[in-house]
C-alpha cells in the first residue's frame, strides 16, 4: 500500500508541474528502524529535462 501511495504522490507532483514527466526508474533500499530510502528518476522528454528524487519513507511494521 505504501508503494501505491508513493507512486500516486509522484504523479500528483509531476502533473502539478504542468509537464509530461515519465518515470524512468524506482528503487527502494531498506534501512534501520523501518526507514526505507527511495530513489525515483523521472524525465520530461519534450524539454529533455531529468530529475532524481530521493526521500525516506517509514515502512509499516508487522505486529
For the chain, the domains span 2-58
Q: Could you identify the residue written with the cell 504522490? A: 9
Integer Cα distance of 32 and 23 in angstroms: 27
Give residue-wise pLDDT tens across range 3-60.
777 777 777 766 655 667 789 999 989 888 888 899 999 998 888 889 998 988 887 6
pLDDT higher than 60, residue 63: no
What 3-state class would DSSP assign to 27? strand
Q: Could you identify the residue written with the cell 519534450? A: 46
Whole-structure pTM value: 0.56
CATH of 2-58, one of 2.30.30, 1.20.1290, 1.10.760, 3.40.50: 2.30.30
Amino acid at each position: 500500500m505504501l508503494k501505491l501511495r508513493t507512486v500516486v504522490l509522484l504523479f500528483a507532483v509531476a502533473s502539478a508541474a504542468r509537464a509530461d514527466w515519465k518515470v524512468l526508474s524506482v528503487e527502494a533500499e531498506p534501512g534501520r528502524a523501518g526507514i526505507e530510502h527511495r530513489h525515483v528518476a523521472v524525465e520530461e522528454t519534450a524539454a529533455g529535462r531529468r530529475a532524481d528524487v530521493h526521500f525516506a519513507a517509514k515502512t509499516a511494521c508487522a505486529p
